[in-house]
Amino acid sequence: MKAAYSSVCAAAIAAAMFFHVSATHAAAGDPLGLEFQVDNGTGTYFSAPAAARDGAGDTVIAWARAGAGQGVYARLYDPSGTPKGPEFAVPLGHAPAAAVPAVAMDRAGDFVVANTTADAAKQSFTIQAQRYSVNGTALGAPITVASVPKLIVLGFASAPSLAMDADGDFIVVWSQGVVFDFNIPDTLDAAAGARLIFARRYGSNGVAKGPAFLVVGDPPDVLITGGGPQAVAMDDNGNFVVAWNNENLYRDTVEFKRYNTNGLQLGLKVEAKPLSDKFPYGLQLAMDAAGNFILFWTEGGIGGPYHEVAQRYSAVGKAQGAAAVISSQTGQVGMQSDGEFALVWGDSSNVKAQRYSAGAVAEGGIIPVSSSIGSPVAAFDGYGDFVVAWAGGPISGVNLYSSIHARLFSGH
């Protein structure tokens, strides 16, 4: 997956260097052109897209389409934001409603798209992944990461999380289980179910590095706690962290486990956010090239107000200071290789971004991204420039959007 595309990657890097030299006049946070529409304008879409960039600035954006042609789609762009071709369907089957695909790209531009597929006939969920070269050519058939039986009506497998190292090795993480609803108060629902988090590692050639393994689910997690929304991040060498919301009757925390490049757990499970009257939502995880990482979550009491909180850790899992509120806005985070990151969010009127140092200190002012309403994500290249992609034009009365857009920004 890597060696075969060395000449292509060299050409891409040369083109990227030209683009970045020509854009050196742009200050950090300045737009590198106008916003552009990613999709072909013929569909409706479930929610925010996913985005990833390689070291040279090539970009992939993936999203889930609703209605006619329901499934996962993607489109590739060169470092200047010029499309490498039209949108294309990713052969991952029928995506469940509101399923958000995951995407990750290695340093050379090869990438993977993953999603949950629902099979009504077999009453099951399947976690799948599809590999691509830097030019968008599919590499082999879709990979079946796991097949999850739909044991009862409320059985489920979550949309997967995905991370990739510099050389293209990758990991897929998902939660699965059953949730029983006995018409008891909502506060008891989580204690009446079980959610397990699994992970599976793959080489850059798409070959599994062993079977799926359990991340969270050892007693008492199986019966008492819920391995809630999960996230994964990987450094350039393949070391990785898996984090999750621990949701149940008695506790509502953020936790994580660290693993080395061989998939061996490093140390014990760590509780990043202890029990309090502030509940964590919207867990995110970002990691720099050296393995330093930041956990992000939205925190607030019942009814709000809500804030974006960050907790920094070194590559060996040592907390760097205490968890701190970084913004009164809540959104999605993208991180560059040196640890600097951007928070992007959409409100009732537009899409905005805020840049931060590796120490989680705001840099510059709030960046206006678009005057349209949207649900955005962000991804960085090796130079610190970043792309913001969003699903825009919410359709009144339903949880759908009418178009996918993106815009490039300078990060240096």
**CATH code: domain of residue 82:** 2.120.10.10
The residues with which 401 forms a beta bridge, in sequence order, are 45, 394
- Averaged over 141-162, what is the pLDDT? 78
Tell me how far apart the alpha carbons of residues 253 and 273 are, in angstroms, rounded to a whole number.
Answer: 5
Q: Evaluate if residue 170 carries a pLDDT over 90.
A: yes
pLDDT (tens digit, 9 = 90+) per residue, 13-25? Answer: 444 554 554 555 6
Q: Phi first, then psi: what are they for 220, rounded to 5°?
A: -95, 15
Closest C-alpha among 144, 59, 51, 164 to residue 100:
51
Nearest C-alpha neighbor of 291 from the set 310, 314, 272: 314
Mean pLDDT for 145-151 is: 78
What percent of the chain stands above pLDDT 70? 79
pLDDT of residue 2: 44
pLDDT digits (tens, 9 = 90+) for 267-277: 999 998 765 66
Of 12, 57, 2, the C-alpha closest to 33 is 57
Q: What is the pLDDT of residues 84-119, one digit of tens each?
A: 999 999 998 766 655 689 999 999 999 999 998 877
Q: How far apart are CA 117 and CA 98, in angstroms?
A: 12
**Beta bridge mates, 104:** 112
Q: What angle do CA 100, 38, 135 make, to 5 degrees?
A: 90
- The answer to whether 338 and 289 are in contact (CB under 8 A) is yes
Q: How many domains does the chain divide into?
A: 1
For residue 20, the model assigns a pLDDT of: 55
Q: At residue 393, does pLDDT exceed 90?
A: no
In this predicted structure, the answer to whether residue 122 has a pLDDT above a threshold of 60 is yes
Q: Which residue has the higher pLDDT, 371 or 188?
A: 371
Give the pLDDT of residue 98: 56
- State pLDDT tens for residues 65-81: 887 778 899 999 999 99
CB atoms within 10 A of CB 123: 13
Answer whether residue 212 shows pLDDT above 90: yes
* pLDDT at residue 117, as a whole number: 81
Q: For residue 399, what pLDDT is reported?
A: 66
pLDDT-wise least confident of 133-137, 154-158, 295-299? 154-158
Per-residue pLDDT averaged across 135-144, rounded? Answer: 96
pLDDT value for 96: 61
Distances in Å between the Cα of 182 and the Cα atoms of 122, 190, 251 are 25, 11, 21
**Which of 3 and 324 is assigned the larger pLDDT?**
324
Supply the pTM of this predicted model.
0.88
Residue 124: pLDDT band (50, 70, 90) is confident
* Residue that has been written with the tokens 């949701």 in this structure: 247
Q: For residue 375, with 0-12 CB atoms within 10 Å meaning exposed, 13-18 middle and 19 or more buried, which class applies?
A: buried
Structural domain boundaries, residue 101: 3-409
Span of 54-63, 72-81, 117-126, 399-408 with lowest mean pLDDT = 117-126
Looking at residue 120, what is its pLDDT?
A: 67
- Sign of the four-CA dihedral 110, 370, 47, 404: negative
159 falls in which pLDDT band (50, 70, 90)?
confident
CA distance 59 to 385: 11
Does 322 score more than 90 pLDDT? yes
Provide the pLDDT confidence category of residue 251 given band limits of 50, 70 and 90: low
Q: What is the pLDDT of residue 247?
A: 67
Judged against a pLDDT cut of 60, whether residue 233 lies above it is answered with yes
CA separation (Å) from 267 to 35, 257, 286, 316? 45, 8, 20, 9
The mean per-residue pLDDT over the stretch 205-226 comes to 74
